[in-house]
Every structure is written in structure tokens, then in C-alpha cells.
Structure 1
Amino acid sequence: YYSIKDILGFALMLILLATLALFSPNLLGDPENFTPANPLATPP
């Protein structure tokens, strides 16, 4: 009984984290990763 409950809880948490990471990735990560490219600024 407990193993089924543990597997179900792990799958539920994994599905929740996957939907959060796929549909709204700005809540978890650094928003500096998603800055638009500037063609005038050349990289060093």
C-alpha cells in the first residue's frame, strides 16, 4: 500500500513541476536568461 502511495505522490509532484517548468519558466529561473538579443552590441 505504501509503495503505491509513494509512487503516486512522486508522479504527481513530477507532473506538477513539469507543467510549471514548461508553461511558466519565468517563475523558477533568472529572467536575465531571456533578454532579447541586441544586434548592435558585439560580444567581447
Structure 2
Amino acid sequence: MTEKDAVKCVDIATEQHWYVPVQAKLESGFTNNLTTLLRKVQGRL
């Protein structure tokens, strides 16, 4: 399971359970594009 899901299973996990660490890598410009899109829809809410 992913590390994110492993946190949810901490109370039931045994040594037979393991997780894969995940690290997100965003493309350059992602934050700027997301900010632009959010500003466009902000007026519609």
C-alpha cells in the first residue's frame, strides 16, 4: 500500500504489511497554472 494508506492502517498493521514511500513531483509551472484556473472559477462560486 502507499504510505498515505498505511497511516490509516496503523492500528491493524503487522510485520506482514508494508508500504511504498511516495513523493509527488509537480511539473514546472503547475502552481502558476492551478492558481490561474482557481482565479477563473472563483467568480463563479
Common fold, TM-score beyond 0.5? no
Using the size of structure 2 for normalisation, the TM-score is 0.35
- Structure holding more helix per residue: 1
